């Protein structure tokens, strides 16, 4: 069923690098374009710039060191269980991967099925994985872009929520193409968060449908 949302969506961001998409979401929330609250920023890298951004904005910044889990046969799952404990402590409703350079396991995927998003700098299902701008140029693509999708156990295989396209220019390098794609990433990721907060994302198999907004603008969330 659906219930009215009265409080901002509780969001956690997992990041490993500079956190530019984290910043775009922080800015979007500040402008009132995303009815959400970032309750935690978590990184597997102690020196991640994303954690510095979190501290600058007064957000909870958490470094979860993967080293204590190394060498265990279930090292990846054990690490994700530690993350899950944190997410549950903060009552997180939506998890966002933003340059998070670890493959999440079923521990997190199952706990946050259709409640965990990632942004990828290609028009999925084309070019999952790394070095995607170079691949787009090498393949002679006329369009490239970015995709926000729900996270599944398959890398960059989850249901697609939003995409944005940019032209691939004849003189593009991977760096120039990546820069233009990043501009679009900063637009569509906050939009996906807002659509989730409004309860407008409906998953049916591999497809995500965006339901019409309620006439009165009242946001809803799904509850089992």
Name the residues annotated as catalytic.
Answer: 120
Coil vs helix vs strand at 150: strand
Coil vs helix vs strand at 15: coil
Cα–Cα distance measured from residue 6 to residue 211, given in angstroms and rounded to the nearest whole number: 20
Token representation of residue 7: 């409080």
Within 10 angstroms of residue 180's Cβ, the number of other Cβ atoms is: 17
Cα–Cα distance measured from residue 100 to residue 52, given in angstroms and rounded to the nearest whole number: 15
Q: How far is CA 182 from CA 79, 175, 189, in A?
A: 29, 10, 11
Cα–Cα distance measured from residue 48 to residue 100, given in angstroms and rounded to the nearest whole number: 10
The residue assigned the tokens 């998409």 is 21
Q: In Å, how far from its chain's centre is CA 197?
A: 14
Give me the helices (H) in the chain, please: 20-30, 49-56, 75-89, 106-111, 132-138, 174-197
The residue assigned the tokens 């998953």 is 203
């Amino acid at each position: 069923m659906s219930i009215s949302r009265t409080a901002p969506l509780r969001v956690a961001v997992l990041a490993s690098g500079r956190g530019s998409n984290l910043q775009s979401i922080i800015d979007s929330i500040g402008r009132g374009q995303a009815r959400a609250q970032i309750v935690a920023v978590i990184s597997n890298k102690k020196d991640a710039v994303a954690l510095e951004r979190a501290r600058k904005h007064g957000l909870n910044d958490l470094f979860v060191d993967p080293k204590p889990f190394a060498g265990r046969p279930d090292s990846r799952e054990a690490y994700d269980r530690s993350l899950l404990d944190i997410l549950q402590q903060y009552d997180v409703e939506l998890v966002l991967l933003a340059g998070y350079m670890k493959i999440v396991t079923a521990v997190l995927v199952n706990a946050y099925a259709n409640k965990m998003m990632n942004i990828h700098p290609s028009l999925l299902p084309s070019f999952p994985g790394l070095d995607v701008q170079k691949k787009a140029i090498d393949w002679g693509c006329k369009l490239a872009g970015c995709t926000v999708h729900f996270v599944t156990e398959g890398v960059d295989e989850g249901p697609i929520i939003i995409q944005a396209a940019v032209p691939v220019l004849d003189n593009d390098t991977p760096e120039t193409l990546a820069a233009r794609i990043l501009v679009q990433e900063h637009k569509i990721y906050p939009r996906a968060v807002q659509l989730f907060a409004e309860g407008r994302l409906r998953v049916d198999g591999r497809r995500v449908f965006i339901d019409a907004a309620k006439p009165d603008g009242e946001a809803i969330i799904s509850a089992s």
